[in-house]
């Protein structure tokens, strides 16, 4: 079982719709959860992070975390063609000594259709 799992997609949504991206993780000790966006040929860039159970909103983006279910999701409202990219879920389980290991899922490719 992979440490962080995502549906690879592609997920196609029409412009203006809500895109819902999901991620599950295996390490119950994980404390920090991140969503990165990666455009083709570019490096990943952070768009959201969440530490506590519940929802966190930032503009058109909402991250949702459920630690009991080991599930984290990202909602993108009013999807735009410029949102078309691969979205990477990342989890930081703690290692002995307090060190962190930023572990990524396989990514979900999102296509927003104009």
Partner 1 sequence: DTAVSQTPKYLVTQMGNDKSIKCEQNLGHDTMYWYKQDSKKFLKIMFSYNNKELIINETVPNRFSPKSPDKAHLNLHINSLELGDSAVYFCASSQRDRGPWGTEAFFGQGTRLTVV
Give the tokens for residue 27.
Answer: 């390490």
Give the tokens for residue 90.
Answer: 């990342």
3-class DSSP state for residue 82?
Answer: helix
Q: In the complex, what is the shortest distance from the CB of residue 71 to partner 1, in angstroms, rounded to a whole number?
A: 18
Residue ranges that bind partner 1, judged by CB under 8 A: 8, 31-32, 34, 38, 42-46, 49, 51, 86, 88, 90, 92, 94-95, 97-104, 106-107, 109
Q: In the complex, what is the shortest distance from the CB of residue 16 to partner 1, in angstroms, rounded to a whole number?
A: 26
Distance from C-alpha of 7 to C-alpha of 21, rounded to nearest angstrom: 8
CA angle 27, 46, 38 (to 5 degrees): 95
Of 16 and 100, which has the nearer Cβ to partner 1?
A: 100
Of 5 and 75, which has the nearer Cβ to partner 1?
A: 5
């Amino acid at each position: 079982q992979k440490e962080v799992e995502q549906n690879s997609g592609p997920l196609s949504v029409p412009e203006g719709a809500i895109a819902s991206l999901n991620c599950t993780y295996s390490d119950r000790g994980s404390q920090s959860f991140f969503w990165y966006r990666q455009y083709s040929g570019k490096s990943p860039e952070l768009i959201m992070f969440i530490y506590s159970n519940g929802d966190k909103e930032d503009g058109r983006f909402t991250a949702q975390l459920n630690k009991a279910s080991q599930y984290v999701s990202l909602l993108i409202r009013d999807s735009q063609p410029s949102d078309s990219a691969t979205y990477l879920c990342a989890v930081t389980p703690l290692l002995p000594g307090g060190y962190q290991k930023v572990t990524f899922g396989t990514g979900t490719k999102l296509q927003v259709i104009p």
